[in-house]
Amino acid sequence: MKSRSASRRLQLPISIDEFAGRLLDWYTQHKRDLPWRRQPEPYRILLSEFMLQQTQVKTVLPYYERFLRAYPTLEDLARSAESEVLSAWSGLGYYNRARNLHRTARLICEKHDGTLPRDYDQVLELPGVGRYTAGALLSIAYGEPLPILDGNIQRLLARYLKIRKDLTGSGAEPVWDLLAWMVREPLVDEHISDFNQALMEMGALVCTSKNPLCNECPLGDSCLARKEGIQEELPVRTKSRKLQSFQFASAVVPRNGRYLLMQNCESKFLRGFWEFPKVVLPIGPDLPSSQLLEQTFEETHGLKIEIAEQFAPVDHRITFRKLRFYPFRAHLREDPEDSRGFVWVDLEAKRDYPVPSFVGKIVKRIGRSDDTRRQN
């Protein structure tokens, strides 16, 4: 007879041993050869988990390798300045992850002798580490039997169990409860690192958000959504966050192969980065006159510029923010009186300043315009 708690728990259509066995066999044959799997040391797992938050593996790989070359150990990372870490992270986006990783490295060195703690509650205290990341770190790095639930696993189980409810926020608790029961079962406990990674891998490679490869799924014959042909209708999706639009005029001021940059000290998501001086524009196609823009730059930044040439806009997306930049080539009528917030940077050389990727987009746009003009 099932206990009351078992009857309330989500039920697998097959036994846990069969479910785990199929999954582990598939993982052994099909798992990707990833650098943090080849060398599953705690620091490398920590770095990979931070980078993989909201970012696909194929995007992360070159950044992961580059970051490890810059900071081969946790101690190297902890000793570095935040600006250096942001520069090494530049281009990967979601920069609060880099800040949290840096703070986490320092905290581990200060409080845990440079070793990722094995205690779940202590790991949860690390900056940027939540329920999923704590479970992933401890299960993969140390073999601790802890559940994990990311977007890939959520999608896989929503389809496999035909869950028609929204699984965001508190709606995910029944799935967490099921996974917590799974990891206590002997077969899963014994292979927890591979089991958790297999769940993620299945969601990434087979049970994809669009056009899932059901014929290649080791669990396909017992998938409840597939039996009804509704696998692509699940999971239930809530309304996405409303997109916010912003427009800026960016002053591109060159001098002897360098560009004038200023540090962003206001925007939460770009705080600490260096970019072309910019001013906010009202949303719409009509731009202020050059005279008004020059006046605005002087009032906003103390920059006395002369706008020489306007270029086509450059679009950039940061999570739910849509940014449009209207770049202008400009010249300084005189150097700023207070130069502390400005630097001249050679963007082609090794950067000592973290620069967001839209700066490179703007430079390319100007370069393409120059090339076209020369050809004509």
Given the residues 49, 84, 144, 201, the one annotated as active site: 49
Which distant-in-sequence residues (6+ apart) come within 8 Å of 187 by Cβ?
16, 17, 20, 21
Pairing of strands 244-252, 321-334: parallel
The total of other beta-carbon atoms located within 10 Å of residue 285's CB is 6
Residue type, 211: N
Beta strand extents in the chain (DSSP E only): 244-252, 254-255, 258-263, 274-275, 278-281, 304-310, 314-318, 321-334, 342-345
How large is the C-alpha radius of gyration of the chain? 25
- Is residue 62 packed enough to be buried (19+ CB in 10 Å), middle (13-18) or exposed (0-12)? exposed
* Number of Cβ atoms within 10 Å of the Cβ of 78: 18
Give the CA-trace dihedral at 368, 374, 375, 376, to 10 degrees: 110
13 Cβ neighbours under 8 A, 6+ residues apart: 160, 161, 222, 224
49 is catalytic: yes
Q: Which residues are catalytic?
A: 49
